[in-house]
Homo-oligomer: A and B are copies of this chain.
Amino acid sequence: MKALLIVAHGSRRKQSNAEVVNMAEQITQSNSVYHIVHAGFLEIAAPLIPDGIQQCIDEGATSIVVLPYFLNSGRHVVDDIPRIVNLVSDNFPEIDIKIAPHLGSSPLMTELLMSCANRVQ
C-alpha cells in the first residue's frame, strides 16, 4: 500500500500548518495512486517527520514517498529532510521510503505562477 507524506517546514502560525493538512486531505480524496496521504513537519508543528512516517506504516503503508513542500532547494531540502528520512528508514528496512523532488523544482511551476498572476482582480 502506497503512502504520500507531504513535509512542510512547520510554522508557529497554526493556520499555515492547517493549510498543509487540508491539502493532504484534499489529495487523499482526489488521487488514485496513494491510499494514505498525510502532512508532516520538519520542525515546530506535529507530526514531525519520524511520527508522520510511523503513522503511514501504522496504517499499512509498504512504500512511502516523502514530498518536500518547499519552494527553494535550501538546506532543509538538501540536508535536513534527507538526513531525518534516512535515519528513520534504517529502522524500517522492509518499507520502501523515497524522497520526491521538492515542490519548487517542478517543471509545472512557471505554469502555476502564471495562473496565479492571471487570477489578479
Question: How far is A34 from B11 in the complex, measured between Cα atoms in Å?
Answer: 33
Q: Does A93 belong to the interface (CB within 8 Å)?
A: no
Q: From A67, A69, A102, A120, name the one whose CB has the most chain B CB atoms within 10 angstroms.
A: A120
Question: How far is A112 from B8 in the complex, measured between Cα atoms in Å?
Answer: 15
Q: Which of A38-74 contact B (CB under 8 A)?
A: 65, 67, 69-74
Q: Which of A74-121 contact B (CB under 8 A)?
A: 74-75, 98-106, 108-121
A residues with a Cβ closer than 8 A to B are: 4, 6, 8, 11, 13, 15-16, 19-20, 23, 26-27, 30-31, 33-34, 65, 67, 69-75, 98-106, 108-121
Known A13-B74, A71-B8, A116-B101: A110·B33 in contact at CB below 8 Å = no
Contact A115 B108 (CB under 8 A): yes
